[in-house]
């Protein structure tokens, strides 16, 4: 996953590099950017006690894919920040700039690349988490927890009967105690549980951790990349050298 997906602040001339949610191959570029002070700032700027730290902004950006020409709309808010530089002899230079915080993308960004075998239900819950990450990180963790439930089902763990409740913790115990999948599921469960509380302290960084763990879980459960690498290593050992001319290429590992 790209670090840029998780950026919560940016300046206008350094917009994060997002991949297109449609083709998933090319980057989105900013084709239009609009920023304005919000109503509170406009109404109160004339107050003699007004300070730059009280400035509040709104922005909208139109992004376009370099490849498939998809359009993505982004909206959010902003605040004025100050940068202080020392210029020598005890003097300082002060400059002000607006930091912007993205809140919503439509179509929403896709943080995780899904292997073909990933069930539709798992993809939908993870994509919901992507859609709310910037505005509601706690909800993102909760959606990833729902995805974890569906991952367990795909691993053969029985679902509760209609009207019956079985916790994720109890269901995950059906997996081998030392299995890597169980450890990953437990991490997502704890963050998801915290995100469902009314006084949750979940931050964007916590949600990022949940996405990182989920990304590895998806690869372990649904990707055949590891198996292909094992097959390649075995073929190299058997032939005691390169296997390029025998039909095994790096492209097969992707």
Q: Report the pLDDT value the prediction gives residue 165, as an integer from 0 to 100.
A: 84
* Number of structural domains found in the chain: 2
Are residues 94 and 3 part of one domain?
yes
Over the chain (254 residues), the average pLDDT of each successive run of 10 is 93 94 96 95 87 90 97 96 74 82 97 94 97 96 95 89 84 87 93 82 94 95 80 80 59 50
Domain ranges, residue 119: 115-223
* pTM of the entire predicted model: 0.83
Are residues 188 and 92 part of one domain?
no
Rounded Cα distance, 110 and 130, in Å: 6
Are residues 61 and 163 part of one domain?
no
Contact 108, 21 (CB under 8 A): yes
Are residues 193 and 106 part of one domain?
no
Are residues 100 and 164 part of one domain?
no
Q: Report the pLDDT value the prediction gives residue 83, as an integer from 0 to 100.
A: 76
Are residues 127 and 52 part of one domain?
no
Looking up residue 131, the CATH number of its domain turns out to be 1.20.120
Q: Report the pLDDT value the prediction gives residue 177, as an integer from 0 to 100.
A: 81
């Amino acid at each position: 996953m790209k670090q840029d997906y998780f950026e919560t602040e940016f300046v206008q001339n350094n917009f994060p590099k997002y991949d297109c949610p449609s083709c998933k191959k090319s980057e989105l570029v900013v084709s239009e950017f609009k920023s304005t002070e919000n109503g509170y700032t406009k109404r109160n700027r004339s107050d003699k006690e007004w300070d730059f730290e009280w400035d509040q902004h709104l922005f909208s950006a139109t992004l376009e894919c370099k490849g498939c020409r998809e359009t993505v709309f982004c909206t959010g808010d902003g605040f004025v920040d100050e940068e202080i530089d020392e210029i020598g002899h005890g003097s300082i230079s002060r400059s002000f700039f607006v930091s912007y915080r993205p809140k919503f993308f439509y179509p929403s960004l896709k943080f995780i690349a899904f292997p073909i075998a990933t069930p539709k239900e798992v993809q939908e819950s993870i994509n919901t988490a992507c859609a709310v990450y910037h505005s509601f990180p706690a909800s993102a963790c909760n959606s990833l927890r729902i995805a974890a439930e569906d991952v367990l089902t795909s691993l053969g763990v029985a679902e509760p009967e209609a009207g019956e409740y079985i916790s994720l913790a109890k269901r995950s115990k059906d997996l081998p105690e030392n299995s890597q999948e169980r450890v990953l599921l437990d991490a997502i469960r704890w963050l998801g549980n915290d995100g469902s509380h009314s006084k949750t302290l979940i931050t964007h960084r916590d949600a990022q951790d949940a996405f990182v763990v989920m990304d590895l879980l998806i690869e372990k459960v649904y990707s055949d990349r590891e198996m292909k690498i094992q097959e390649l290593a075995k073929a190299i050992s058997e032939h005691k050298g390169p296997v390029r001319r025998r039909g095994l290429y790096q492209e097969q590992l992707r």
